[in-house]
Amino acid sequence: MNEGAVKSAGARRPGRPRTASESDARERLLDEAERLFAEHGFYGVTVRDVTRAAGVDVALAHYHFGAKRGLFDAVFLRRAEILNADRLLALEAARADAAPDEPTVETVIQAFVGPVLARWASGDPGWKSYCALVAQVNNTPSWGGKTMTRYFDPVVQRFINALRQALPDLAEADLFWSYHFLSGALTLTLAETGRIDLLSAGVARSGDHDAVMARMPRFFAAGFHALARKD
Amino acid sequence: MNEGAVKSAGARRPGRPRTASESDARERLLDEAERLFAEHGFYGVTVRDVTRAAGVDVALAHYHFGAKRGLFDAVFLRRAEILNADRLLALEAARADAAPDEPTVETVIQAFVGPVLARWASGDPGWKSYCALVAQVNNTPSWGGKTMTRYFDPVVQRFINALRQALPDLAEADLFWSYHFLSGALTLTLAETGRIDLLSAGVARSGDHDAVMARMPRFFAAGFHALARKD
DNA sequence: AGATATATTCAACGTTCGTTGAACGCGCGA
DNA sequence: TCGCGCGTTCAACGAACGTTGAATATATCT
């Protein structure tokens, strides 16, 4: 008999029939890769780390995803699509609520940060990891900008347009820099490094979704408006 | 004769006498490590990458810095001390300018971001790399928070105090979250990933120090004030 | 049941990793 | 001038790396 896979991490039910496409080993590889990449970065994780955590042979990762980078891209793509759909829905809802007016700056920001913060605070550790991963990529100089652009900026452009309509007096450069500030604050929040806990001696807690949601839209709406004022 | 070190990167002047302690190979190792760590992260760079770039043998890195992590820490510490001193000086200058009043929120923010943005835009590639490195560490979940706290937060606390004095009505949690937002925006700026260039089709440029300095203090001062308003 | 396709493991490849002990060169104080 | 200490190179260790071709197990189809 097969005596490999000594410490199988899987909850694999042996009797259940399964079609080829719904392999749960593949899903487990994605989950473990997500967790490990988020914690240690792309180069800080080996393919063997991932396959060991998933309880499968190292060759299986290459069978499903090709090279190591393919595995990373698959991880990054999986939830990006969900997040983009969430955001577009939230933007449309904000537009519907405000009709026949355009939604306010604060409402647009809420539609932008709300979906990701909700997933982040949902209790699903997969989403927590994914958010931390995005934060790291967004601050990676060599290939982070291009990666973020590719996966997220088509939707981001829609939000930029909505912000532009809400702030007709804001210069174009101001608009993009303001979004840039928002993006940096959001990703640092999602990184959840624990620094704010230490700095504030516990007054503010890294994972406090409600605290962020209560402050971020108002804080950044004020910033956008401040740059729009010409004085 | 020695035929190693084929492509020596050094501008080593052969005639100059030098005491043991001012070895420029050591300095070159720090410079190259800084550049490479900033670009690819800690795990994305091998000790051999660094020594090859510095034009020295791989064993020399271990002689000067012990393990790989020692090299990284030496890189991180070198400019942290300079930056902290810069910031304290700027804070004192702001206080002196405002005396006998307390400096405004916008002035304190200026004293916080001004020194690092000035170094960042100074044209010294070493400082550019260092800033990108800090950005990456600040967004690293596993050990980033602790590292930032250790090297920077003693000085940050002084700025927090100054902000507290400028905004007596701001609740403590609001104060720390506001700083957190500022920190995220600043580090994403320093990361200089080029994403904003792509997103704005060139209207905003990643490395544009003047653009950031002209917007950041006003933008974030407005954010701080917005959370202080109780409505 | 037998054939077929997909999923997974086995075993190994060549390379590169971080690290180390010993030797070497050389300026400087005795 | 001798030797001593520091900076540096040499040569190599064992381990771990990403990747691969072939063998094996499992599920589906005829």
Q: For residue B63, which amino acid is it? A: Y
Supply the pLDDT for residue B5: 32
Q: For residue A125, which amino acid is it? A: P
Q: What angle do CA B74, B185, A196 make, to 5 degrees?
A: 70
> What tens digit of pLDDT does each residue of B79-135 get?
999 999 999 999 999 999 998 999 999 999 999 999 999 999 999 999 999 999 999
User: What number is the average pLDDT over the span B45-66?
Assistant: 97
User: In angstroms, how far is D7 C1' from B27 CA?
Assistant: 13
Q: Does A227 touch chain B (CB under 8 A)?
A: yes
Measured between CA atoms, how close is A77 to chain B, in angstroms?
18
- DSSP per position, chain A: -----TT------TT----GGG-HHHHHHHHHHHHHHHHH-STTS-HHHHHHHHTS-HHHHHHHHSSHHHHHHHHHHHHHHHHHHHHHHHHHHHHHHHTTSPPPHHHHHHHHHHHHHHHHTSS-HHHHHHHHHHHHHHT-TTTHHHHHHHHHHHHHHHHHHHHHHH-TTS-HHHHHHHHHHHHHHHHHHHH--SHHHHHHTTSS-TT-HHHHHHHHHHHHHHHHHHHHS--
- A209 contacts A117 by C-beta, under 8 angstroms: yes
User: What number is the average pLDDT over the span A34-44?
Assistant: 96
CA-based nearest residue in chain A for residue B221: A223
| Cα gap A4→B115, rounded to integer Å | 58
Residue A171 neighbours by CB distance under 10 Å: 13
User: What number is the average pLDDT over the span A109-120?
Assistant: 97
Are A153 and B199 a contacting pair at CB < 8 A?
Answer: yes
> What tens digit of pLDDT does each residue of B160-217 get?
999 999 999 999 999 999 999 999 999 999 999 999 999 999 999 999 999 999 999 9
User: In angstroms, how far is D27 C1' from A48 CA?
Assistant: 27
Supply the pLDDT for residue B52: 97
Q: Which residue in B148, B156, B152, B147 sits closest to B176, CA to CA?
A: B156
Nucleic acid strand D within 7 Å of A33 CB: no
Distance of alpha carbon A186 from the chain centroid: 10
Measured between CA atoms, how close is B93 to chain A, in angstroms?
24
Supply the pLDDT for residue A122: 93
Q: Does B212 touch chain A (CB under 8 A)?
A: yes
**Could you say which residues from 142 to 181 on chain B have a Cβ atom under 8 Å away from some Cβ of chain A?**
142, 144-146, 148-149, 153, 156-157, 160, 172-174, 176-181
Q: Which residues does chain A have within 8 Å of residue B146's beta carbon, measured at their own beta carbons?
A: 194-195, 198
Name the residue closest to the C1' of D5 by its CA: B20
Measured between CA atoms, how close is B7 to chain A, in angstroms?
25
User: In angstroms, how far is D12 C1' from A89 CA?
Assistant: 61
Q: Which residues does chain B have within 8 Å of residue A144's beta carbon, measured at their own beta carbons?
A: 191, 193, 195
Supply the pLDDT for residue B230: 74
| Cα gap A220→B220, rounded to integer Å | 8
pLDDT of A143 strictly over 90: no
Nucleic acid strand C within 7 Å of B64 CB: no
DSSP state of B104: P
Q: Which residue in A160, A220, A154, A142 sits closest to A186, CA to CA?
A: A220
Higher pLDDT, A15 or A178: A178
- pLDDT tier for residue B30 given thresholds of 50, 70 and 90: very high
Helix, strand, coil percentages for chain B (3-state, nearest 5): 70, 0, 30
Supply the pLDDT for residue A2: 31
Nearest nucleotide to the CA of A70, by C1', is: D18
Contacts of A113 (CB under 8 A, 6+ apart): A182, A186, A212, A213, A216, A217
Nucleic acid strand C within 7 Å of B4 CB: no
DSSP state of B19: -
| Cα gap B47→A26, rounded to integer Å | 34
pLDDT of B19 strictly over 60: no
- pLDDT tier for residue A216 given thresholds of 50, 70 and 90: very high
Nucleic acid strand C within 7 Å of B47 CB: yes
pTM of the model: 0.89
- DSSP per position, A88-135: HHHHHHHHHHHTTSPPPHHHHHHHHHHHHHHHHTSS-HHHHHHHHHHH
